[in-house]
Amino acid sequence: MYKSQSIIKIKSASLLETIQIRGLILIGLAVMTLFIWYFFGFVQAGDPVLYGFLTFALVFKLYRTLYEWYHYYNLKTPLKPETTKSYTVDMLTTFCKGEPYEMIINTLKAIKAVDYPHETHLCDEADDAYLKAFCDENGIHHITRTNKT
């Protein structure tokens, strides 16, 4: 079974952190309101076309910011779904003729050392006998394409 020392536990925001983020959002809204009041009340358009483009870009950016703040206001940590299934992954690397053996051996050892349930595969374009023997010794799946069209 999978045992890892590097699992990161995600904790919910504390009451203080929730108050802080909501306070920052409220301050941001106040500053944004002042900015909009100044922009539309006191800024004089020199060129109406450029002013229109600037205004469109500004309104779009303000909308995006408000949309983010809306989601941050009620940010909650999602519950982890219940599962009885043990998931695994396939990790693979490739080898082509002429690549240094040391590089591919180090890569395969690093993949094997990953602390998660997985199968390691070497996709060997050269059908190299040395790497085939290494894979057999270390429980790595050695795969070679026979039809290379």
* Domain annotation covers residue 21: yes
Amino acid 1: pLDDT: 43
- The pLDDT tens digits for 2-15 are 454 555 677 788 88
CB-based contacts of 80-87 (< 8 A; 24+ apart in sequence): 86/1, 86/2, 86/117, 87/117
* Domain annotation covers residue 135: yes
What percentage of the chain carries pLDDT values higher than 90? Answer: 67
Kindly state whether residues 110 and 136 are assigned to the same domain. yes
Amino acid 8: pLDDT: 66
What value does the mean pLDDT of the chain take?
A: 89
* Domain annotation covers residue 9: no
Query: For residue 88, what is the enclosing H or E element?
Result: none
Handedness of CA 114, 120, 121, 122 (dihedral sign): positive
* Domain annotation covers residue 130: yes
Amino acid 148: pLDDT: 72
Contact 88, 118 (CB under 8 A): yes
* Domain annotation covers residue 7: no
Amino acid 135: pLDDT: 96
Kindly state whether residues 101 and 62 are assigned to the same domain. no
Written as one letter, the residue type at 15 is L
Kindly state whether residues 58 and 101 are assigned to the same domain. no
Kindly state whether residues 97 and 128 are assigned to the same domain. yes
From the list 106, 105, 115, the residue with the least C-alpha distance to 135 is: 105
Kindly state whether residues 22 and 68 are assigned to the same domain. yes
Kindly state whether residues 105 and 68 are assigned to the same domain. no
Mean pLDDT of 27-41: 94
* Domain annotation covers residue 125: yes
Kindly state whether residues 22 and 63 are assigned to the same domain. yes
More confident residue, 44 or 100: 100
Residue where one domain finishes, among candidates 33, 49, 73: 73
**62 lies in which domain range?**
15-73
**What is the number of structural domains in the chain?**
2
- The pLDDT tens digits for 98-149 are 999 999 999 999 999 998 899 999 999 999 999 999 999 999 999 998 887 7
Q: What pairs with residue 4 in β-bridges?
A: none
* Domain annotation covers residue 117: yes
List helix spans (H) across the chain. Answer: 15-42, 48-73, 101-112, 129-138
* Domain annotation covers residue 52: yes
Kindly state whether residues 19 and 66 are assigned to the same domain. yes
